[in-house]
Amino acid sequence: MENDTSRIRFAYFGTPLFATIILDELEKEGYLPAVVITAPDKPKGRKLIVTPSEVRVWAEARNIPVLTPITLRDEVFERNLALYDSHLFIVAAYGKIIPKKILEMPRYGVLNVHPSLLPKFRGSSPIESVILSNEEQTGVTIMKLDEDLDHGPIVAQELHTAREWPPKGSVLTGALAHEGGALLARTIPEWITEQKAKEQDHAQATFTKKIIKEDGRIDLEEDPLSNYKKIQAFDEWPGAYFFTKRSGKDIRVRITHATYKDNKLNIIRVVPEGKKEMPYEDFLRGGNK
């Protein structure tokens, strides 16, 4: 089976774009999941239109079965998942802890693609956190999943060198997803054959927190480099923003593009509350009042 990718049956757990890019890389090497497990459709955008996850869209375009359980601790879901008789489960940015009962289902265990060099930056925001910490050395890890958060033994790792630092969060996310998917595709045959993994040095572990909307707020009087790192790290969500007075009231202004040079933050483009994106200079001159 290790020499025939079409015979490696695997279930894939994932939800956002990061997980979809990994699927693209697997598909290039002949790997397609027998079934995809992703988050249920949810309202998105200002109009709260119920929208499927990126992974669901990817799977349905290829006629791959999709399961969208609200919880993984559900007997009906367990039975449905077991019907696909997968040799291996793969998890990438699924967003939920996998219960022990699910972890024990596949013959070759569960592999996870994590966008950091574990044991550093465990948790839900490794990409944003590596930018905010200004730690230029990052990469991807393939690990065997266990019951604890990002705790399992390491199967493979690869360093990533960013062209510019700090990069935008969306750019680093895409780069690590492509590299993680390619590394996973190379790793699967070796894992099926040998199942070698190395225990993490848990004493070196660092942990990241879930990002909330308020994390994007900056004070323009504070350290310009810290502000710039926030602008870069939070370019997609929650966005870096500040409050200022306009026509006698506080308005929220999101920064969409900035540069940092000679210890100075240069804001280039912004989106004022209720307005369209504009050059920051136009905003300062009172544009689109």
Same domain? For 174 and 275 the reply is: no
Same domain? For 40 and 150 the reply is: yes
Which pLDDT tens digit goes with each residue over 209-229? 999 999 999 999 999 999 999
| Residue percentage of the chain with pLDDT more than 70 | 97
Same domain? For 138 and 279 the reply is: no
Radius of gyration of the chain (CA): 21
Q: What is the pLDDT of residue 289?
A: 52
Number of folded domains that form the chain: 2
User: DSSP letter string over the chain?
Assistant: -TT-GGG--EEEEE-SHHHHHHHHHHHHTT---SEEE-PPPEEETTTTEEE--HHHHHHHHTT--EE--S-S--HHHHHHHHTT--SEEEEES--SPPPHHHHTSSTT-EEEEESS-TTTTEES-HHHHHHHTT---EEEEEEE--SSTT-SPEEEEEEE--SSSSPPHHHHHHHHHHHHHHHHHHHHHHHHHH---B---GGG--EE----GGGGB--TTS-HHHHHHHHHHTTTTT-EEEEEEETTEEEEEEEEEEEEETTEEEEEEEEETTS--EEHHHHHTTTT-
Q: Is the pTM of this model over 0.85?
A: yes
Same domain? For 229 and 125 the reply is: no
Which pLDDT tens digit goes with each residue over 146-196? 999 999 999 999 999 888 899 999 999 999 999 999 999 999 999 999 999
Instruction: Give the C-alpha distances (Å, rounded to integers) separating 68 from 41, 78, 100, 189, 191.
Output: 8, 12, 19, 28, 27
Neighbours of 203 (CB within 10 A): 6
Instruction: Give the C-alpha distances (Å, rounded to integers) separating 56 from 52, 60, 77, 188, 257.
Output: 6, 6, 17, 23, 31
Which pLDDT tens digit goes with each residue over 79-90? 999 999 999 999
Range of the domain at 274: 213-284
Closest by alpha carbon to 131, among 200, 1, 231? 231
User: What CATH number corresponds to the domain at position 12?
Assistant: 3.40.50.170
Same domain? For 187 and 236 the reply is: no
Of the three residues 191, 207, 223, the one that is the final residue of a domain is 207
Of the three residues 188, 207, 226, the one that is the final residue of a domain is 207
Same domain? For 179 and 79 the reply is: yes
Angle, alpha carbons 39-45-51 (nearest 5°): 35
Same domain? For 35 and 57 the reply is: yes
Same domain? For 158 and 256 the reply is: no
Q: What is the pLDDT of residue 98?
A: 94
**Does 23 reside within a domain?**
yes
Q: What is the pLDDT of residue 2?
A: 44
Which pLDDT tens digit goes with each residue over 45-67? 778 899 999 999 999 999 999 99
Q: Between 16 and 4, whose confidence is greater?
A: 16
Half-sphere exposure of 43 (CA within 13 A, CB side): 3
> In terms of residues, how long is the chain?
289
**Does 125 reside within a domain?**
yes
**Does 289 reside within a domain?**
no
Q: At what angle do helices 54-61 and 17-28 cross, to 10 degrees?
A: 30
For the segment 20-48, the average pLDDT, to the nearest whole number, is: 93
